Amino acid sequence: MPQPPSIVWLRDDLRVADNPALLAAAEREAPVVVLYLLDEESTGVRPLGGASRWWLHHSLAALQSSLDELGARLTLRRGSARDVLPALVQEVGADAVFWNRRYSAAREVDAELKTQLRDDGVEVRSFAAAVLYEPWTLTTGAGDPYKVFTPFWKAALASEEPREPLPPPTSLDGHRAESERLDDWSLLPIRPDWAEGLRETWSPGERGAHERLEEFVEEGLSLYHRRDEPGIEATSRLSPHLHFGEISPHQIRHRVQQGISPAAARNRAKFLSEIGWREFSVNILFHWPDLATVNYRREFDAFPWGEPDPDQLAAWREGRTGIPIVDAGMRELWVTGWMHNRVRMIVASFLTKNLLVDWRTGEEWFWDTLVDADPANNAASWQWVAGSGADAAPYFRVFNPLLQAERFDPDQEYIRRWVPEVGTAEYPEPIVDLKSSRDEALAAYEAVKAAKA
């Protein structure tokens, strides 16, 4: 009798190399169903924003090509995982299901399914694939999760060395299962087609991820000490590839530790610490799963963020605030689906502190427009800037966008790239006075701090 097939359930791990779940299924030497399930219904699963849906379409198409080369096909299904996965197990007669772990509130769905399927006699195994250090492996001396990055990363570096990347399967015995059509999911924009800039900027998929990594190692890593300057190509731009799992942190870590120039080697530790910030955000989300909707520091429930002025909010979203570096960042975001990290902090500070708009409003806009909109990074970063997040000094950090531009874009190379009309009569006056709005924000933060004391 033929051996029953295994199911590999892919989520944010759209790659064939360094994919423990896929490799484990291949090693069983049984037929394999590779499943991607578009679940926008389950508890703890946040439906993707528009830019991420565009990326997902192209990433899945690239993954199908990679699976074709190995002898398998990608099975696409849509619906609630609680319904779809058990139904597929019955449909194909699978006796094993493998997946790589996720760390958001959606893990409750995984736990339920693991129990249910095992009770039905199905082998279920999950693996670590998305992070270097799983959240429960790093705790304080008291056994609590870390709440500040620096001690978290020191503990990580002092812990057991992360594993080396795993090879891809040499081949797969693909089991044919009925699949939905990717085009029927309507992930791509049609009218209007706002994705031209995304197409010009990105190459979604595993191959594109590794090409981006090589380009960074060869050209960008030696400049990484200038990573805060948005006018130069000194950052990796690997964040969307990491979010969709087209490349793993193990692969990135392994690559930057070998075969790089002395100039690049000098920046290696700092670059890896930025990968560490991603790890820290996952750690925070794991322990505080409502990070995108609830203040991490609950004293900020009393912060007087008001209803946003519709005109001011539209000006911020569209890059018409009259503050050049803010407008440059928001236009870069709209065109490319990405924004330089330093500029992300500046535009977030402007919204939450100069305009006193609730950080959740900005977080939702980024969720819809970023190709790297990640449940952990996006929410943790917005809360950090707002002061309500995991930060050792949360109360009085207000970015001055003019001083930030002078320091990090002194020749206005970045600003003029995105706001060519700056300095002309066409450019608007600032929508808010920076000094008075800063004073108002500091007074509000002082009140929150005093109330906590």
* Type of residue at 38: L
Structure tokens at 255: 């690559």
Active-site pick, 55, 316, 359, 367: 359
Q: Where are the alpha helices (DSSP H) in 73-218?
A: 81-92, 107-119, 149-158, 196-201, 206-215
341 carries an active-site annotation? yes
CA 198 to CA 336: how far, in whole Å? 5
Single out the residue of 168, 244, 195, 202 nearest to residue 10, CA to CA: 244
Structure tokens at 427: 């450019």
How close are the terminal C-alpha atoms of the chain, in Å?
A: 71
Q: Which residues pair with 7 in a beta bridge?
A: 33, 97
Active-site pick, 274, 299, 364, 440: 274
153 carries an active-site annotation? no
User: Reduced to 3 states, what is the DSSP secondary structure of residue 129?
Assistant: coil
Residue reference for tokens 């440059």: 328
359 carries an active-site annotation? yes
Angle between helices 341-349 and 375-386 (to 10 degrees): 50
Active-site pick, 55, 153, 305, 338: 305
Q: Is 190 exposed, middle or buried (0-12, 13-18, 19+ CB in 10 A)?
A: exposed
Q: Write phi, then psi, for 289 (nearest 5 degrees).
A: -65, -15
User: Reduced to 3 states, what is the DSSP secondary structure of residue 32?
Assistant: strand
CA 350 to CA 327: how far, in whole Å? 11
Active-site pick, 153, 382, 384, 418: 382
384 carries an active-site annotation? no
Region of 124 please: left (phi>0), alpha (psi -120 to 50) or beta.
beta
Write down how long the chain is. Answer: 453
Active-site pick, 185, 341, 400, 440: 341
Active-site pick, 185, 194, 277, 334: 277
194 carries an active-site annotation? no
Q: Would you please indicate which residues are annotated as catalytic (active-site) residues?
A: 274, 277, 305, 341, 359, 382
